[in-house]
Homo-oligomer: A and B are copies of this chain.
Amino acid sequence: MSADAEFDYREIDDVIHGRVRLSIMAYLSGADIADFNELKAKIGGTDGNLSVHLRKLEEAGYVGVTKQFRGRRPQTTCMLTKKGRDAWIAYIARMEALLHSKAAE
């Protein structure tokens, strides 16, 4: 990122930035692995909303999603991929720069 791009909104990773996806990424970055119901309880919203955003993160290669049966019940588990963790770290650095920038100094 050049110095001129410090405030350029296009430097913010749009895949992560949406509020639901950001909350998923933040939770998974600490939880290592989480099942769908756990995620929904933490992040809020509906099944449909969470599914849509999980799929977008999966398509970007940021989150791995596994569906399996636990006894007779289907279970969906998610975790950050290596690519997702790298993107998360880059996103944090970008946001820190923006949140603590001093334009006038």
Question: How far apart are the CA atoms of A9 and B52 in the complex, in Å?
Answer: 15
Q: Is the pair A23, B8 in contact by a Cβ cutoff of 8 Å?
A: yes
A59 at the interface (CB under 8 A from B): no
A101 at the interface (CB under 8 A from B): yes
Q: Is the pair B23, A19 in contact by a Cβ cutoff of 8 Å?
A: no
Partner among B29, B42, B43, B101 whose Cβ is within 8 Å of the Cβ of A26? B101
Chain B residue contacts of A45, Cβ below 8 A:
9-10
Chain B residue contacts of A6, Cβ below 8 A:
42
A47 at the interface (CB under 8 A from B): no
Q: Is the pair B27, A7 in contact by a Cβ cutoff of 8 Å?
A: yes
Q: Is the pair B12, A22 in contact by a Cβ cutoff of 8 Å?
A: yes
